């Protein structure tokens, strides 16, 4: 990189990343990370000169992303529902679609006082920590089958001051064995069919945990198991809300309806118009 001014370095990064088929705006995130600046401060400092160390570090980080390392692994963080979460190779990088699951889930429990909530497959803790921060009166449980993910989730809960009960185990098992009943069960389980692996970007497949991505042959394995376990956990009057892959909602709705023949199942699209969430009211 032959650039010392911040704006020159950003211009270089943008064309370098385009040449490598990567996100052209990624340089901006790296620069904000190096300068420890938010965007307005970055904009105000565009004509400042980088120190040699800063320039070398910027060059290194941009090349890492060009090689396929996700920006969020380089900065170590991702924004979710207005808060900053730590992320690493042990957890899924929380996605904007999941913010929509949180939004609708919060709406479903708006009328409940001190609800009991469980987040199944918590990963970074993005859903559970957000639910607790948005509804401090709730008791929130969060389950994962990855101890390394739970460790990251616990750190996020601590940083974001959220008193969440983290449980290690397989789907709803830790709740069933403790006789915990919930008013809201929310989950973004792994749902990508295994043979779609080849179609995924290497930024995803080489850097995010496969346990967080793949849900068996048709992607529905975890919903099948969850539907069978739900009657042991969901309170009368309770709600279960799950994120799905586009095109999977009908199948998941049918699984939930079978588990609760008298329940009301609702499919909700995401803001891009893709069928994305299934809610079950019992």
Ligand X SMILES: C[S@@+](CC[C@H](N)C(=O)[O-])C[C@H]1O[C@@H](n2cnc3c(N)ncnc32)[C@H](O)[C@@H]1O
52 assigned ligand-binding residue: no
Pick 59 or 88: Cβ nearer ligand X: 88
H or E segment at 140?
strand 139-144
User: Phi and psi at residue 118, in whole multiples of 5°?
Assistant: -130, 135
Of all residues in the chain, what percent are helix, strand and coil, respectively (each to 5)? 45, 20, 35
Tell me which residues touch ligand X (CB under 6 A): 91-92, 94, 98, 121-124, 126-127, 143-146, 149, 170-171, 188-190, 211-212
188 assigned ligand-binding residue: yes
Three-state DSSP class for 54?
helix
CA atoms of 96 and 81, how far apart (whole Å)? 8
**Minimum separation from the CB atom of position 212 to ligand X (A):** 4
Q: How far is residue 88 from each of residues 144, 214, 265, measured CA to CA in Å?
A: 16, 18, 35
89 assigned ligand-binding residue: no
**Minimum separation from the CB atom of position 186 to ligand X (A):** 9
Pick 185 or 212: Cβ nearer ligand X: 212
216 assigned ligand-binding residue: no
Pick 91 or 280: Cβ nearer ligand X: 91
Pick 59 or 108: Cβ nearer ligand X: 108
121 assigned ligand-binding residue: yes
Q: What string of DSSP letters covers 185-243?
A: EEE----B-GGGGGGS-HHHHTTS-HHHHB-SSSS-HHHHHHHHHGGGTEEEEEEEEEE
User: Phi and psi at residue 166, in whole multiples of 5°?
Assistant: -95, 135
H or E segment at 275?
strand 275-281
**Minimum separation from the CB atom of position 211 to ligand X (A):** 5
CA atoms of 73 and 21, how far apart (whole Å)? 18
**Minimum separation from the CB atom of position 60 to ligand X (A):** 28
123 assigned ligand-binding residue: yes
Pick 62 or 171: Cβ nearer ligand X: 171
**Minimum separation from the CB atom of position 269 to ligand X (A):** 18
CA atoms of 237 and 60, how far apart (whole Å)? 54
Pick 48 or 196: Cβ nearer ligand X: 196
**Minimum separation from the CB atom of position 204 to ligand X (A):** 11
CA atoms of 62 and 59, how far apart (whole Å)? 5
125 assigned ligand-binding residue: yes
272 assigned ligand-binding residue: no
Which residues are annotated as part of the binding site for S-adenosyl-L-methionine? 121-125, 144, 188
Which residues are annotated as part of the binding site? 121-125, 144, 188-191
Which residues are annotated as part of the binding site for substrate? 188-191
């Amino acid at each position: 990189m032959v650039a010392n001014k911040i704006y020159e370095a950003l211009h270089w990064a943008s064309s370098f990343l385009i040449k490598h088929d990567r996100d052209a705006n990624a340089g901006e995130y790296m620069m904000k990370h190096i300068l420890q600046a938010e965007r307005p401060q970055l904009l105000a400092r565009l004509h400042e000169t980088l120190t040699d160390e800063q320039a070398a570090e910027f060059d290194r980080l941009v090349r890492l992303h060009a090689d396929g390392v996700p920006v969020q692994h380089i900065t170590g963080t991702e924004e979710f529902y207005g808060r900053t979460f730590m992320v690493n190779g042990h957890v899924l990088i929380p996605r904007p679609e999941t913010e929509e699951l949180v939004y609708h889930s919060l709406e479903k429990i708006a009328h409940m006082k001190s609800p009991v909530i469980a987040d199944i497959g918590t990963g970074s803790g993005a859903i559970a920590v957000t639910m607790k921060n948005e509804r401090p009166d709730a008791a929130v449980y969060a389950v994962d089958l990855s101890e390394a993910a739970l460790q990251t989730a616990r750190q996020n809960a601590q940083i974001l001051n959220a008193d969440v009960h983290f449980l290690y185990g397989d789907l709803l098992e830790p709740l069933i064995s403790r006789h915990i009943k919930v008013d809201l069960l929310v989950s973004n389980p792994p749902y990508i069919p295994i043979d779609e692996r080849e179609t995924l970007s290497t930024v995803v497949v080489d850097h995010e945990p496969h346990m967080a991505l793949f849900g068996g042959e048709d992607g529905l394995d975890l919903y099948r198991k969850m539907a069978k376990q739900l009657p042991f956990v969901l309170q009368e009057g309770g709600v279960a809300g799950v994120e799905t892959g586009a095109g999977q909602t009908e199948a998941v709705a049918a699984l939930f309806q079978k588990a609760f023949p008298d329940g009301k199942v609702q499919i909700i699209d995401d803001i891009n118009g893709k069928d994305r969430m299934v809610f079950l009211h019992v």
